[in-house]
Amino acid sequence: MGIALSVVVVTRDRWQALERLLADLAQQELPGAGFEVVIVDDGSVPPVRPRLEGLTPPYGLKVLAQTRAGRAAGRRRGVLAAEGETVLLLDDDLRLRPGFLAAHLRAHDQRPRAVVTGVVVAEPGAGNLPLVERARVTAHRNRRQAHGGHLCPDNFSLRRDDYLALGEPDAAPRDALERAVGIRLEQQGVPLVVVQDATAYRDPVPLDAEAWVDAARRAGADDLRVHRELAGADDTAPWRLACDSAGWVRPLLWLAAARPDAGAALTRGTLAAAAAADVPLLHPLAEWLATVAHGTGYFCGAGEAAGSLGPVLRGLAAETARRGTTERAGVGLKAAADFLDATHQDFAQACFYRDRYHADAKRPADVGRALVEQIGFQMMTAVRLMQFARNAGWPLGARVCSRLIRHLYGAEIHWDTVLEPGVCVVHGLGLVLGHQARVDAGCILFHNVTLGEALHPDTQARGSPHLERGVHVGPGATLLGPITIGEGSKIAAGCVVTRSVPPGARVLPAEVVLARRRPPPTHPGTPPTAHA
């Protein structure tokens, strides 16, 4: 009789738990098919093999040994030794009900190429379950959609070839590594199927709510790292879990990711509320509050790992746009991320030019200080707010910002002007930028500069100037028409430019000195002067 399923179990120093699991496996029936169990001993003391001698279970039994190489390495070794086309990977402390193996195989009959995962919950007969265990069950029941990141690493099955195609395990932390298995399988076209009939049980874990939430925070940070290591595909990002949550919970998760400090306070408050509500009459409320705290803790970890607000907003925007269900929210989040990125790049560019031209001057310590001390940077931030309103789909807000800039700084900047992140403005008074003007990163504009719309003197085409990267435009310079100022060029103060300039050029104003036609008037008390 062929082997329909290979059960792979990695164990270390938990003989009593393993013994119960083997007894439960002996109660499993697979009509018309057999199965085998592959035990990988990860350095148990004493070893497992002598304890299993003389055991005659109704299934094939293999025992392998390794020297504390870890569960991931042990599982790969066990799968390599397995003979079944389908392998089931279990933790060694699980309890199984009759029909457990059959539920896994039925799911594979319906979806031949899939990774089938059950869930692991506390044993119902263990007495009153703690809040954490009840919340876990609630989270599984309320899950709207399954992704690779939802893989239960203690209870899943798949084709042997699909598992081996993942290659050797890396040195990632255990939890992150095993969540990455489901994500990587999903990337390879192996969907995740959650089967409630394949539920396994274990004794309640002695884990309090705070430790559970702290584990969720670490999971959020690990998942973001795995997402980056797996080429940053959208379907591996932790931000997608926010979109799986109920609509009115999402802002709480977004807040936790965007402001981990505020998210931590929110998490503590929610946990306290859950503990207060953990009385028989309010158990459903307590369980729900605990799952919310778990979610905010997860996103606190992801936000901390992101390092700054910009990547968080950009990730949330990409996910909401990809789902298409909250398109407006996605547009707003992306606009906010662009605003933050542009502001920080403008600040870096301002510091670069200050160090270059005013090495003896003390640069602002941070963006907030620069907003107070540097009018040019303050004005650029106002421009970024105007662009944020435009990009977020609020055209009236963009027009209002444009008018405020005019009144506050005496500068005429159209709301459709394109200024790439990393532009420096010095003083800024009298700046005029037309609606078709474009300024690339690294440019520096002084006061009274005009980039205006006009006709080209040769082609008669209408448009506004385009400044390529690193262009320096001095005070009072006027650039008109659809011209291009090449990268790294310098336009001196007072120039009037109506034709394109090649990269790396210097444009100087024409200095023409003519004799006056009549002598200047003689003021009282001024000695007479002879004029030729």
Q: Do 299 and 441 lie in a common domain?
A: no
Looking at residue 121, its pLDDT comes to 76
Looking at residue 156, its pLDDT comes to 92
| pLDDT above 80: residue 46 | yes
Specify whether the CB–CB gap between 115 and 185 falls below 8 A: yes
User: For residue range 326-380, what is the model confidence (pLDDT) as tens digits?
Assistant: 455 556 666 777 787 888 888 888 888 888 777 666 666 677 777 778 888 899 9
Average pLDDT score, the chain = 82
Q: Please indicate, yes or no, if residue 478 is contained in any of the structural domains.
A: yes
In 392-526, which ranges are continuous DSSP H helix? Answer: 395-409
Range of the domain at 411: 360-507
User: For residue range 198-231, what is the model confidence (pLDDT) as tens digits?
Assistant: 888 877 665 567 777 788 888 888 778 777 776 5
Q: Do 112 and 233 lie in a common domain?
A: no
Q: Do 405 and 265 lie in a common domain?
A: no
For residues 522 and 36, the model is more confident at 36
Domain final residue, candidates 204, 239, 261: 204
**3-state SS, residue 359:** coil
CA–chain centroid gap for 346, Å, is 23
| pLDDT above 70: residue 270 | yes
CA–chain centroid gap for 207, Å, is 29
For residues 5 and 286, the model is more confident at 5
Q: Please indicate, yes or no, if residue 333 is contained in any of the structural domains.
A: no
User: For residue range 110-126, what is the model confidence (pLDDT) as tens digits?
Assistant: 888 889 988 887 766 54
Q: Please indicate, yes or no, if residue 167 is contained in any of the structural domains.
A: yes
Q: Please indicate, yes or no, if residue 526 is contained in any of the structural domains.
A: no
Looking at residue 325, its pLDDT comes to 46
Q: Please indicate, yes or no, if residue 513 is contained in any of the structural domains.
A: no
Upstream peptide bond of 46 is cis (omega within 30 degrees of 0): yes
Q: Do 54 and 1 lie in a common domain?
A: yes
Q: Do 197 and 285 lie in a common domain?
A: no
| pLDDT above 90: residue 439 | yes
Percent of residues, the chain, with pLDDT higher than 90: 35
Buried b / exposed e along 376-386 (16+ C-beta atoms within 10 A)? bbbbbbbbbbb
For residues 198 and 451, the model is more confident at 451
Lowest mean pLDDT: which of 98-107, 317-326, 341-350, 403-412? 317-326
Domain final residue, candidates 179, 204, 229: 204
Looking at residue 326, its pLDDT comes to 47
| pLDDT above 70: residue 389 | yes
Pairing of strands 478-480, 496-497: parallel
Q: How confident is the model at residue 532 (pLDDT cuts 50, 70, 90)?
A: very low
Most confident of 277-281, 426-430, 491-495: 491-495
Q: Give all strands of the β-sheet with 478-480 in edge-to-edge order.
A: 412-413, 432-433, 450-452, 478-480, 496-497
Q: What is the CATH number of the domain that holds 428?
A: 2.160.10.10
Q: Do 44 and 153 lie in a common domain?
A: yes
User: For residue range 462-496, what is the model confidence (pLDDT) as tens digits?
Assistant: 999 999 999 999 999 999 999 999 999 999 999 99
Lowest mean pLDDT: which of 135-144, 388-397, 445-454? 135-144
Q: Do 154 and 46 lie in a common domain?
A: yes
Q: Do 277 and 157 lie in a common domain?
A: no
Percent of residues, the chain, with pLDDT higher than 70: 79
**3-state SS, residue 417:** coil
Specify whether the CB–CB gap between 185 and 157 falls below 8 A: no
Q: Do 36 and 141 lie in a common domain?
A: yes
Q: Do 186 and 282 lie in a common domain?
A: no
Looking at residue 525, its pLDDT comes to 56
Q: How many domains does the chain have?
A: 3
Specify whether the CB–CB gap between 47 and 17 falls below 8 A: no
CA proximity to 419, closest of 396, 398, 395, 444: 444
For residues 360 and 425, the model is more confident at 425
Mean pLDDT over residues 239-243, rounded? 71
Q: Please indicate, yes or no, if residue 524 is contained in any of the structural domains.
A: no
What is the pTM (predicted TM-score) of this model? 0.57
Q: Do 20 and 159 lie in a common domain?
A: yes
Q: Do 198 and 253 lie in a common domain?
A: no
At 233, the amino acid letter reads A
Q: Please indicate, yes or no, if residue 497 is contained in any of the structural domains.
A: yes
| pLDDT above 70: residue 409 | yes
Looking at residue 49, its pLDDT comes to 92
